[in-house]
Chain A
Amino acid sequence: MMLAEILDSLFPNGHDVVLNHGLLFGRGTRPTGRVIVVIGVDGRLPVGVDEAAWLSRRVLDTLANGNKDPILVLLDSDSQRMSKRDELLGLNEFLAHLAKCLMYADAKGHATVGLLYGHTAAGAFIATALATRALLALPDAEPAVMDLPSMARVTKLSVDVLQEKAKSTPVFAPGLDNLVQTGGIAAVLDPGVSLADQLEVALGSIAQSVGSKDTRDQLGRARNGRPKAADIAQRVRELALASR
């Protein structure tokens, strides 16, 4: 699905989301008439220091207006921008700040939802989509940590060998199914049905979730994608609490 189509299906009651050099911002009207703030990245744009700073500013503006509007992060990005300039200026701080702003907003009552409709990778993925409370995706989304050819170069194994190994585990290869199975993505939406309705369901279940627990590791365990993470985290937590 293309961005315009996605926005129309998400907001049949209207929206004012505009694209600004590959970055998205605006508000959508929900079926109830209430507003949801939309930020995002389109056109497979890499996320560098300038993009991250712009997006985090929009999140802070949302916090400042005090309406507790939920925030939707729409995403079709590249990885982080890989350049001398971005690292020189401290890209890690800019990406971390964006993630912190989203997580803070969520903690303060602005439910955050991600919708991955294209690509994303590596540091951009962590700072945007993965920084939301509930990450959704459309079926043709293509999340990755790293593409297989690059992985092949670094691990010194051929792409063929990696692809063969990827048949037996969802734990390393790119692709929507793997990110769903390992618990990173909560649900895949049906593009043949109103996205507005599906978004409402997602927002509804966020509203009902107890406290602000991060349950992705439990999801990864239930889906057999990450068999150990939830148990290890739980055991360490209990040992630490007992050591008090």
Chain B
Amino acid sequence: MSAAWSWYEATARQRLLKLLDEGTFEEFIGPEQRETSPHLSLFDLPEQFDDGMIVGHGRLEGTRVLMAAQEGRFMGGAFGEIHGAKLTGLLRASREIGSIPVLILFDTGGVRLQEANAGEIAISEIMRALVDARLAGVPVVGLIGGRAGCYGGGGLIAGCCSALAVSEQGRISVSGPEVIETNRGVEEFDSKDRALVWRTMGGKHRRLIGGAEILVDDTMASFREAATRLIKRAPPLDAMTLEAEQSRLDQRLERFGRCEDARDIWASLGAADARSLPAMAYRDFVVLADRLEKPRHDAR
């Protein structure tokens, strides 16, 4: 029964506990340490004992992993000073250990505005530590499918991962829908148009355009299976991978740079009925996606 639990509906703690082998999770700086944000009280905002970031280690199908999970429902899962530092420390350790993969369960709106400078720098520190870990041969796999999505600086960290799995509910983007609408007008982007938001930033589109390697179902079992698979197939980070990534991105610009909408991209990929893709059931979509655009494992 636990295998069918909705990832989207779960809390960060529930995801983490359901993903890992039962009884194997040990937390680093748990909530009983009460390391809360030193900045939220200035804004009369409530704190959370883990500051919305849980880090620790456990086993996934018997394999030791280091794990980080964001709570998207606390302050939008946004990066604050303590929140970010926990992930930085975890990644720095992973590089020194060298042999244990890292799983990051993203659920974030980006930088926490009340701690904006701390959050922004933390994101850069996380990216540096992540790159260093990958250079030491550590696979760093990102899982995306929570309520907050993976926005802003979170999207940049995700782009540094070895590989990503995303569910249909997940979104990956730098700027959020409201910000695009404010900047460009509602004619370009109506942030209230959910279908448009998901077409542009959502999991299915990311799978097709190459923003993520695997589209998962919104279940613990599906995320677990994808995480296990991606850990094994993570590309090393070297000049060859970066050149492959540059080619991949250049080609994407060439192929789709003039497309107005995701439907045009999907049609260009060969989808016979682009309009039917959002409503398509998970299994059918995965089959179609594998037919249209096989995921690469040599770039990113």
Chain A contacts to B: CB under 8 angstroms: 49-50, 53, 56-57, 60, 63-64, 80, 82-97, 99-101, 103-104, 107-108, 122-123, 125-127, 130-131, 145-146, 151, 154-155, 157, 165, 168-173, 178-179, 182-184, 212, 214, 216-217, 220, 225-241, 243-244
CB-CB nearest in chain B for A79: B175
Chain A min CB distance to B210 (Å):
7
Q: A226 contacts B81, CB within 8 Å? A: yes
Q: B156 contacts A53, CB within 8 Å? A: no
Residue of A130, A216, A238 ringed by the most chain B CB atoms within 10 A: A130
What chain A residues lie within 8 Å of B16 (beta carbons)? none
Given A214-B125, A229-B118, are A83 and B180 neighbors across the interface (CB < 8 Å)? yes
Chain A proximity mask over B216-228: 1 for CB below 8 Å, otherwise 0:
0000000000000
What chain A residues lie within 8 Å of B55 (beta carbons)? 236, 240
Docked Cα-Cα span, A82 to B38, in Å, equals 31
User: At the interface, yes or no: B179 with Cβ under 8 Å from chain A?
Assistant: yes
Chain A min CB distance to B53 (Å):
10
Q: A235 contacts B89, CB within 8 Å? A: yes
What chain B residues lie within 8 Å of A60 (beta carbons)? 239, 242-243, 246
Docked Cα-Cα span, A241 to B28, in Å, equals 11
CB-contacts of B33-58 with A (<8 A)? 35, 38-39, 42-43, 55, 57
Given A146-B116, A182-B117, A233-B86, are A216 and B125 neighbors across the interface (CB < 8 Å)? yes
User: At the interface, yes or no: B245 with Cβ under 8 Å from chain A?
Assistant: yes
Chain A min CB distance to B140 (Å):
12
User: At the interface, yes or no: B206 with Cβ under 8 Å from chain A?
Assistant: yes
Given A89-B252, A130-B124, are A145 and B117 neighbors across the interface (CB < 8 Å)? yes
Q: A56 contacts B246, CB within 8 Å? A: yes
Q: A182 contacts B173, CB within 8 Å? A: no
Q: B174 contacts A95, CB within 8 Å? A: yes
Q: A103 contacts B57, CB within 8 Å? A: no
Q: B201 contacts A87, CB within 8 Å? A: yes
Docked Cα-Cα span, A234 to B116, in Å, equals 21
What chain A residues lie within 8 Å of B159 (beta carbons)? 92-97, 100
User: At the interface, yes or no: B280 with Cβ under 8 Å from chain A?
Assistant: no
Chain B min CB distance to A71 (Å):
14
Q: A100 contacts B121, CB within 8 Å? A: no
User: At the interface, yes or no: B200 with Cβ under 8 Å from chain A?
Assistant: yes
What chain B residues lie within 8 Å of A217 (beta carbons)? 85, 88, 121, 125
How many interface contacts (CB-CB < 8 Å) are there between A and B? 286
Q: A236 contacts B90, CB within 8 Å? A: yes
What chain B residues lie within 8 Å of A49 (beta carbons)? 249, 253, 257
Chain B contacts to A: CB under 8 angstroms: 26, 28-29, 35, 38-39, 42-43, 55, 57, 66, 81-82, 84-86, 88-90, 92-94, 96-97, 100, 111, 113-125, 127-129, 131-132, 135, 150, 152-153, 155-160, 172-175, 179-180, 183-184, 188-189, 200-201, 205-206, 209-211, 237, 239, 242-243, 245-246, 249-250, 252-253, 256-257, 259, 261-262, 265, 300
What chain B residues lie within 8 Å of A85 (beta carbons)? 257
Q: Pick the contact of A104 from B205, B237, B300 — CB < 8 Å?
A: B237
Which applies to chain A's interface (DSSP): helix, strand, loop or mixed? Answer: helix
Chain B min CB distance to A4 (Å):
29
Which applies to chain B's interface (DSSP): helix, strand, loop or mixed? Answer: helix
What chain B residues lie within 8 Å of A241 (beta carbons)? 93, 96-97
Q: Pick the contact of A130 from B35, B113, B121 — CB < 8 Å?
A: B121
Q: B118 contacts A226, CB within 8 Å? A: yes
Chain B min CB distance to A238 (Å):
8
Q: Pick the contact of A240 from B66, B113, B173 — CB < 8 Å?
A: B66
What chain A residues lie within 8 Å of B39 (beta carbons)? 169, 171-172
What chain B residues lie within 8 Å of A170 (beta carbons)? 117
CB-CB nearest in chain B for A231: B85
What chain A residues lie within 8 Å of B259 (beta carbons)? 88
Q: B184 contacts A216, CB within 8 Å? A: no
Docked Cα-Cα span, A85 to B183, in Å, equals 13
What chain B residues lie within 8 Å of A229 (beta carbons)? 81-82, 84-85, 88, 118, 122, 125
Q: Pick the contact of B35 from A57, A89, A232 — CB < 8 Å?
A: A232
CB-CB nearest in chain A for B159: A96
Q: A53 contacts B131, CB within 8 Å? A: no
Docked Cα-Cα span, A151 to B113, in Å, equals 7
Given A182-B117, A229-B122, A240-B97, are A89 and B257 neighbors across the interface (CB < 8 Å)? yes
Q: Pick the contact of A50 from B93, B124, B245, B253 — CB < 8 Å?
A: B253
Q: A107 contacts B131, CB within 8 Å? A: yes
What chain A residues lie within 8 Å of B57 (beta carbons)? 240, 243
Q: A126 contacts B123, CB within 8 Å? A: yes
Q: Pick the contact of A53 from B42, B94, B246 — CB < 8 Å?
A: B246
Docked Cα-Cα span, A80 to B206, in Å, equals 19
